[in-house]
Amino acid sequence: MATPAELGPPPSRSLPGGWTGHAQPYIAVAAAPRPGILLDRDGTIIVDHGYVGSVDRVELIDGAAEAIAEFNRRHIPVAVVTNQSGVARGMYGANDVDKVHQHLARLLTTNQARIDLFLYCPYHPEGVVKRFARPSCHRKPGPGMAKTAEAALNLDLAASWVVGDRHEDIGMAEAVGASAIYLGSDPLKLPRVWSFPSLAAAAPFILERVAR
C-alpha cells in the first residue's frame, strides 16, 4: 500500500450535495461501520485568522498534527467538515478552498498525519455570489457533511466524535447523534459534550473512548 508521501496531496473532485471535497485514494473502507472523528478546520486544526482562503494564511495549531497522527495510528477515520461561507461572500473561490486543503494535507504529511476526507460547504443564504447564495443542509449545524462522511468512510455516527470551536459544530453532532468535543475556554454543559482547550488536549480522551 502506498504511503501519503508517495501519493502526494489528495486529488480534488466534485461530490454530490452542493459542495466539494477530496479524499485520500488509499483509504480502505471497512466492512462494518466504525467510529470516526469529524474535525472542524479553523480554530481546531489551523489558527482561525478569519476566512482563510489562501495558503499563506494556513498555520497549524500546536499539537493538532500530532493528535491527527495518533488517530491515524489507531486506524480511526478522520474527516474535515468546514463551513466556508467566504466562497458565497465572494471573498475567495472554491478552487482556493481546494488549494488550502491540499496545502494542509502536505503540511500534515510532514508530521506523519493525514486527513481521510475533506468536506466543505460553500453556501450561505446571505451570499453575494448567486450560485452559492442559498441555504444548505450541508452547512453546519445541518447534518449534510456528517452524513456524507458517514457514507464515504462507512462510519457509525452514533459512535463517532465531532470536534470544533463553534456552537455549529456541537449542533451538527446533536443532529446526527454523535458525541462532541467543544474547544473553548468556557465549558459547555450539554449531554454528550465535553470541553477542552485544544485538539491535542482532547485526543487522549477521545482515544480512550473510541477504543472501548
Which CATH number covers residue 201?
Answer: 3.40.50.1000
pLDDT band per the 50, 70, 90 thresholds, residue 9: very low
Catalytic residues: 40, 42
Cell numbers linked to 115: 486527513
Tens of pLDDT, residues 48-70: 999 999 999 999 999 999 999 99
User: Please, where are the H alpha helices in 47-166?
Assistant: 64-73, 85-88, 94-109, 144-153
Q: How confident is the model at residue 10 (pLDDT cuts 50, 70, 90)?
A: very low
Residue 28 has a pLDDT of: 55
Lowest mean pLDDT among 41-50, 55-64, 113-122, 182-191: 182-191
**What is the pLDDT at residue 187?**
85
Q: Which domain holds residue 112?
A: 4-210
What is the band of 18 on the pLDDT scale with cuts at 50, 70, 90? very low
Q: Are 182 and 169 in contact (CB under 8 A)?
A: yes
- Average pLDDT, integer, range 29-52: 93
* Residue 196, helix vs strand vs coil: strand
Radius of gyration of the chain (CA): 16
Which residues have a Cβ under 8 Å from the Cβ of 129 and sit 6 or more positions away? 87, 88, 89, 90
3-state secondary structure 138-175: CCCCCCHHHHHHHHHHCECHHHCEEEECCHHHHHHHHH
The domain total for the chain is 1
